[in-house]
């Protein structure tokens, strides 16, 4: 009789399979829970830039471009308008103070001078006639006084004789009174004539004073007009280099129009354009430096032009000690403009990584493992060479500072 043979469940083979499955499951769970799940990317070391974090002196500055200009410029403007009759010199020449540059003509100004001269002559004639009339009046008064004095003298004698005679009753009282009244009449006429002449003299003196003041004012006005006439001849106000002269023969120029400029080449300053982003951080006295012909030169801000044009404003910088010997007007200079003082800081070299991370994180190299891992950092001030590291990095650590564009979002880079 056949007997059913039961199949063994825990055979060696099954035990081995279950054991291996269990070990694999444990390994997978351990890897998930405790293993390194970060994403990695293989990177060739030759294609990246690695910089070492250092602690050193740091100064925040910005690169700006300046143009060498003369330290002083004198502008030529037309004081009076007119037609250009003669152009004596050409631009680009060296001139001396007082040299004639241009000659204008202005018919209206010539007529104005003639009219004012006629007015002055008319007032002078009026003054002369008034003085002559006053002198004639004085002579007439003298004649009248001589006549009155003579008549009064004669009448006074008659009056005294009549007085004696009337007392002796040799003449009638009526005859005496007539002689007395005639004497008093002559005295009163003389006094009235003197008083009239006095008042007339006062009026004449006031009139003469007014005419003299009028003539003086007219002469002053005439001098001003003559000066305007003289200003039709444009002369150099100072010695220097005539950089520009915008006038051609036959051209009409209006009063106040810019004609040109004279550069005084005793020295140079640098006109610098600065981005409007820094307008609140730029002040007089801030320094800058640039390299020229193998030497370093220092500059200091002397003047700030606050007007912003096309996103930029301008400052004038002057040389601190000496200026380059071979510098020329209009020459471009690349300047490092300081925004703060020197201070000690942890520094990281600038690089393309900033465009990707915005300075929020970097790949820090672990030389023992040959890998670079992401690390959050905080950056502060910057200059064209370095960032100031506020936290996240220590001096001596190595950081990948080249572009991160090809690294994606991988957490670690494996360097090969």
Q: Final residue of a domain: which of 230, 246, 280?
A: 230
Residue 1's pLDDT is what? Answer: 46
Tens digits of residue pLDDT in 136-182: 777 787 777 788 788 888 888 887 888 888 777 777 888 888 888 88
Beta strands 40-43 and 412-415, pairing class? parallel
Q: What is the CATH number of the domain that holds 385?
A: 2.40.420.20
Structural domain includes residue 253: no
Tell me the residue range of the domain where 201 lies. 108-230
Which strands make up the sheet holding 361-366, listed edge to edge?
40-43, 412-415, 371-376, 361-366, 398-400, 50-52
Model pTM score: 0.51
The DSSP annotation for 253-303 comes to E-TT-EEEEEEEEEEEEEEEEEEGGGGGG--TT-EEEEEETTEEEEEEEEE
One domain for residues 116 and 224: yes
Residue 192 burial (CB count, 10 A): 10
One domain for residues 148 and 206: yes
Task: Tell me the residue length of the chain.
Answer: 416
Residue 81's pLDDT is what? Answer: 82
Looking up tokens 């998930």, which residue turns up?
32
Could you tell me if 381 and 278 are in contact, meaning their C-beta atoms sit under 8 angstroms apart? no
Residue 325 burial (CB count, 10 A): 8
Q: Final residue of a domain: which of 199, 215, 230?
A: 230
Q: Give percent helix, percent strand, percent coil of the chain, each to the nearest 5.
A: 40, 35, 30
Residue 339's pLDDT is what? Answer: 83
Structural domain includes residue 129: yes
Total domains present in the chain? 2
Q: What is the CATH number of the domain that holds 197?
A: 1.10.287
One domain for residues 113 and 49: no
Q: Final residue of a domain: which of 212, 230, 248?
A: 230
The DSSP annotation for 141-165 comes to HHHHHHHHHHHHHHHHHHHHHHHHH
How many DSSP H helices and E strands does the chain contain? 4, 22
One domain for residues 113 and 210: yes
One domain for residues 127 and 201: yes
Compute the radius of gyration of the chain from its Cα atoms: 54
Structural domain includes residue 314: no
The DSSP annotation for 162-204 comes to HHHHHHTTSS-HHHHHHHHHHHHHHHHHHHHHHHHHHHHHHHH
Give 385's contacts (C-beta < 8 A, 6+ positions apart): 349, 350
Tens digits of residue pLDDT in 282-307: 899 888 989 888 889 999 999 999 89
Structural domain includes residue 177: yes
pLDDT at 217 over 90: no
Tens digits of residue pLDDT in 182-198: 888 888 888 887 887 77
């Amino acid at each position: 009789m056949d007997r059913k043979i039961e199949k063994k469940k825990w055979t060696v083979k099954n035990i081995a399979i279950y054991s291996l499955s269990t070990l694999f499951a444990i390994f997978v769970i351990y890897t998930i829970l405790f293993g390194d799940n970060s994403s990695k990317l293989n990177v060739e070391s030759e294609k990246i830039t690695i910089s070492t974090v250092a602690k050193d002196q740091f100064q925040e500055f910005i690169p700006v471009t300046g143009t060498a200009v003369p330290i002083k410029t004198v502008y030529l403007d037309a004081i009076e308008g007119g037609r250009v009759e003669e152009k004596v010199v050409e631009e680009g020449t060296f001139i001396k103070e007082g040299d004639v540059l241009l000659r204008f003509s202005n018919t209206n100004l010539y007529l104005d001078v003639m009219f004012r001269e006629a007015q002055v002559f008319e007032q002078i004639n009026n003054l002369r006639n008034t003085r002559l009339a006053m002198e004639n009046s004085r002579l007439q008064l003298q004649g009248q006084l001589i006549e009155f004095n003579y008549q009064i003298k004669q009448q006074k004698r008659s009056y005294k004789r009549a007085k004696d005679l009337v007392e002796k009753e040799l003449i009638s009282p009526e005859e005496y009174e007539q002689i007395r009244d005639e004497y008093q009449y002559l005295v009163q006429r003389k006094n009235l004539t003197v008083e009239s002449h006095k008042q007339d003299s006062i009026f004449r003196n006031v009139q003469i004073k007014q005419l003299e003041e009028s003539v003086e004012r007219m002469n002053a006005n005439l001098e001003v007009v003559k000066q305007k006439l003289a200003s039709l001849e444009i002369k150099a106000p100072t010695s220097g280099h005539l950089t520009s002269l915008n006038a051609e023969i036959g051209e009409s120029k209006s009063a106040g129009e810019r004609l040109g400029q004279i550069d005084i080449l005793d020295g140079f300053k640098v006109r610098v354009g600065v981005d409007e982003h820094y307008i609140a951080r730029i002040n007089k006295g801030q320094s800058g430096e640039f390299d020229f012909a193998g030497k370093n030169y220092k500059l200091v801000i002397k003047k700030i032009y606050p007007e912003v044009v096309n996103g930029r404003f301008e400052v004038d910088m002057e040389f601190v000690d000496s200026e380059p010997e071979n510098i020329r007007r209009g020459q471009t200079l690349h300047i490092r403009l300081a925004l703060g003082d020197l201070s000690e800081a942890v520094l990281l070299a600038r690089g393309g990584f900033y465009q990707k991370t915005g300075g929020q994180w970097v790949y820090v190299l672990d030389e023992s493992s040959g890998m670079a891992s992401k690390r959050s950092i905080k950056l502060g001030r910057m200059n064209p060479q370095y960032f100031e590291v506020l936290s996240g990095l220590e001096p001596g650590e190595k950081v990948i500072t080249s572009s991160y564009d090809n690294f994606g979002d991988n957490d670690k880079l494996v360097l090969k």
